[in-house]
Amino acid sequence: MNQTAQTDPTGNEPQGRPRAGTDLRTVRSNPDYWYPVAWSRELKAGKTIGTRYAGTPIALVRPEDGGSVFALEDRCAHRQVPLSKGVVNGSAVKCCYHGWAYGRSGRCIDVPYLGKGKLPNGVRTFPCREQSGMIFIFPGDPDKAETTPLPPALAQTANPGYKTRYFGRTVGCHYSFMHENLMDMNHQFMHSKQMGQMKPRFLGQKREAGLVEARYSFARTGGKQPIGEALIFGERRDASEKFQHRDVMTIRTEYPYQTLRIQKGDDDPVMDLWIVYVPQSADELTNRTFGLLSVKRPGVPFVLDLAWPFLVAFTNRIFAEDREIVELEQKAWRELGGDHNVEVFPVINALRDLLVECGLPPAQPDA
């Protein structure tokens, strides 16, 4: 592959081009990163739940005794049925079918009808970590887990000056469509029913190893400011000149995560989003979204808390529109048998290059 990052700050190039080489929608996500696979609140002490990463079933187990969560391949070594259908006993999980038991190490530690000296092999384990209300696993090479960083604070979850929404859903498309959707703010056109007419101005981009960033400002050209937006900005705005192009929105894909921040001048962001799209099926054409949306609290206490349902409903409507369109993109890809995207926006081409470079090549058909 011969892929060069686009750095033309005008945001324009003469004519769109289909990307040569690998079809981006067949690029597999790189497993050598930490990926959330469940919300912490989903898993009570003494319970197990089943989840997925790119077709691999994963059982998460939270011991009865308050020990940390651990992650096993979610197939009993005996008959491959999900261990997450089983029973947690102390810090071990027993398969629901014939009672084979496994500990944190994945070793089989008991088969009720077999002597202890001749136990069969166990199951695969995954490094596991809990942070910011999510349970993460490291699906790749376990030796890299320790040295692979995961920022200790995601969005502003650790900052009392913010209120955070934890949201997620399963979306029927390759994760790359999600990254493109969020970074290309020209798609504000699609949200005009929710947002009114917003004209984006592209301010520039940054391309570094493992990272692409786009910056925008906006002008309202029609419609009224929605309440949801007023809550985020902490103020009512009309269409007058003084509010035009006043804030900077920075969207960054720092592989494999994505962030979106809105800043008024040099202040702390008024909104800070952290989001990741975790492949579900083996073909990676579905993903589960884990998002943290932190909104800065205004001076008056509890205002944001009282208004929160409006903000939730507003963002849900936006997400529903985004979800519909990326699923339509995926459907077109299936019907056409490949990626026919003709991209004219350089920062999106830079993002596409990044996702190809950081991901894994398509699986071989006979693999």
Q: Contact positions toward a copy of itself, by CB under 8 A?
A: 11-16, 55, 57, 75, 77-82, 85, 94, 96-99, 111-115, 118, 120-121, 184, 186-187, 189-190, 199-200, 202, 282, 325, 328-329, 332-333, 335-336, 340-345
Q: Residue 121 CB, nearest distance to a copy of itself (Å)? A: 8
Q: For residue 87, what are the contacts with CB-CB under 8 A and spacing of at least 6?
A: 93, 94, 96
Q: Residue 58 CB, nearest distance to a copy of itself (Å)? A: 13
Which is closer to a copy of itself, CB of 153 or CB of 332?
332
Q: Residue 299 CB, nearest distance to a copy of itself (Å)? A: 36
Compute the distance between CA of residue 193 and CA of residue 166 in angstroms, rounded to an integer. 24
Which is closer to a copy of itself, CB of 112 or CB of 160?
112
Compute the distance between CA of residue 346 and CA of residue 6 in angstroms, rounded to an integer. 5
Q: Residue 151 CB, nearest distance to a copy of itself (Å)? A: 31
Which is closer to a copy of itself, CB of 198 or CB of 358?
198
Tokens in use for 29?
Answer: 């996500």
Which is closer to a copy of itself, CB of 118 or CB of 242?
118
Compute the distance between CA of residue 272 and CA of residue 262 in angstroms, rounded to an integer. 7
Q: Residue 53 CB, nearest distance to a copy of itself (Å)? A: 14
> Cβ distance 217 to 246 under 8 Å?
yes
Write phi, then psi, for 118 (nearest 5 degrees): -130, 45
Q: Residue 272 CB, nearest distance to a copy of itself (Å)? A: 25
Compute the distance between CA of residue 109 and CA of residue 103 in angstroms, rounded to an integer. 7
Q: Residue 187 CB, nearest distance to a copy of itself (Å)? A: 5
Q: How far is CA 21 from the centre of its chain?
A: 26
Compute the distance between CA of residue 182 and CA of residue 275 in angstroms, rounded to an integer. 10
Which is closer to a copy of itself, CB of 38 or CB of 326?
326
Which is closer to a copy of itself, CB of 138 or CB of 177?
177
Compute the distance between CA of residue 331 and CA of residue 354 in angstroms, rounded to an integer. 23
Q: Residue 236 CB, nearest distance to a copy of itself (Å)? A: 27
DSSP notation for 180-241 = HHHH-GGGGGGGHHHH-EEEEEEEEEEEETTEEEEEEEEEEEESPPPHHHHHHHTS---SSG
Which is closer to a copy of itself, CB of 78 or CB of 107?
78
Which is closer to a copy of itself, CB of 130 or CB of 329?
329
Compute the distance between CA of residue 291 and CA of residue 355 in angstroms, rounded to an integer. 19
Compute the distance between CA of residue 178 and CA of residue 323 in angstroms, rounded to an integer. 9
Q: Nearest 5 degrees, angle CA 209-CA 214-CA 220?
A: 175
